Structure 1
Amino acid sequence: MQLADFKILALLPWQDWLALLAFFAAWIGYALFAKRRTESVQSLLATTNRYRREWMRQVTYREVRVVDGVVIQNLSSSPSFFASTTILIIGGLLALLGTSEKATELVKEIPFAARTSTLVFDLKLLLLTGIFIYAFFRFTWSLRQYTFGALMVASAPDPGVFERGEASREEFAERAGRIVGMAAETFNDGLRAYYMSFAVVGWFFSPWWFAIGTAVVVWILYQREFHSDVLAVLRA
């Protein structure tokens, strides 16, 4: 191992490196776990995707699809709102990086907050900034996917075309439902990043709070995606 590698490792105590490793392992691991578990147990997202497919099948029976366009517009307003909010958060974090010395002194005044150097404080801010940048890209991609779904609804053939067998209702519902479902999945990724950012806030207090916060956030995500009350209603 090079001398520079030892210098990088020496920037943080081993407890911080361990908590940071656990954070990324939990985030990536849970994302893979949720995708794999959906194959055997319907998650909240998978269950709502069935409703999206049925919605798109109903579109093929309607001559006037104004309501469907309004629904897609309303759905796209959520990622649009979060994308705008995320830009403000990123701007605030970058501004805070410019005054990190004063911010470090302010954090030291908080009870139980970890006493760290300005460099370590900047690293924590950079991690938060990176998370919100990732969330911004997911929200904006979700927004674009909703526009693709709106295009598919707008270009859907008239009901008579489906009735004459010139186009397949099931094929259209599958493709259009999948596009809208992908938009929801991407939006869910952005929301998951928001949840994980709360765990990083615990790092400003101590690496142990960081690790505990990570575990709590993953538990909340699991409960909401696989054992929530709304999921039980949707499955009924």
Structure 2
Amino acid sequence: MLQINPIDTIALSWFILCWAGYTWGADHRGPRQSRGLSQATAAHREIWMRRMLERENRIVDSTLLGNLMRSVSFFASTTTLIIGGFVAALGAADQAISMVREIPFVAVVSPLFWKAKVLLLILIFVYAFFKFTWSTRQFNYCNIMIGAAPTAVHDTDEMEEYACRAARLLALAGENFNRGLRAYYFGLAVLSWFINPWLFMAVSGWVVLVLYRREFASRTLKALTSVATPDPSNT
């Protein structure tokens, strides 16, 4: 029977709160969402799609989209390797536990609890895999929209609506990619649980701080928001 210490229960609850709380705060509308990377890049995606509709030759747009898809595909492939490694680790629980017991400050746990932690990691990276593969499909759909995009001779309102829909699809693909990457960050936090539940709580909080800084207070965000974006009504 799986027995969990109260401190481990608290640590796991804190981890879930950190991940779910940050996801809700970063991905849903709130007072800071308009200042995040997601909103900043959304404006540039709309500009990109409008510029795409103005071009007769859209090879450059397909090339840019292909570069994005390769990045997502790389993470999807890497995730399958990580999952395979953790599945293999399930069969070596006794050896792994005997090895880490030699390390100071490492909490001693039962083989069953150790396997439960590995299963949690597997679930996290399976979640990331599904996010990456869905993001890849969404980028594929956006490629189709670029191929089917109207030319500049069409009605301006129709082109504006088409650009907004294509930009929205790009935003959804980027959102799923970001959630997959976020799973990597929190997966790394779970690794610290194998050492100590107190360290697990500390690393979970640290991951939230790192993600928050990069999303809402990074120099990358300042660079994106410092670029003047034209008013859509004037394009």
Match of 2:204 among 214, 225, 231: 214
Matched, 1:194 2:184: yes
Q: 1:40/1:142 Cα in 2 relative to 1: closer, same or farther (>3 Å)?
A: closer
Quick one: distance in 2 between partners of 1:39 and 1:118?
A: 44
Q: TM-score, normalised by structure 2?
A: 0.92
Matched, 1:16 2:8: yes
Question: 2:85 — aligned with what?
Answer: 92
Aligned residues: 225
Matched, 1:29 2:30: no
Question: 1:235 — aligned with what?
Answer: 225
Q: 1:97/1:40 Cα in 2 relative to 1: closer, same or farther (>3 Å)?
A: closer
Quick one: distance in 1 between partners of 2:88 and 2:174?
A: 31
Quick one: distance in 2 between partners of 1:38 and 1:175?
A: 25
Is the deviation greater in 77-86 or in 39-48?
Answer: 39-48
Question: 1:109 — aligned with what?
Answer: 102
Q: Is the 8 A contact 1:86 1:132 kept in 2?
A: yes
Q: Is the 8 A contact 1:43 1:231 kept in 2?
A: yes
Q: How far off is 1:190 after superposition?
A: 0.2
Quick one: distance in 2 between partners of 1:230 and 1:60?
A: 27
Q: How far off is 1:38 after superposition?
A: 6.2
Q: How far off is 1:159 after superposition?
A: 1.6
Q: Is the 8 A contact 1:38 1:46 kept in 2?
A: no
Name the Cα RMSD after superposition: 1.3
Runs of 4+ in 1 over 3 A off after TM superposition: 38-41
Q: How far off is 1:220 after superposition?
A: 0.5
Question: 2:152 — aligned with what?
Answer: 159
| Unpaired runs of at least 5, structure 2 | 227-235
Quick one: distance in 1 between partners of 2:105 and 2:69?
A: 41
Match of 2:139 among 146, 157, 173: 146
Q: 1:40/1:218 Cα in 2 relative to 1: closer, same or farther (>3 Å)?
A: closer
Percent sequence identity is 44
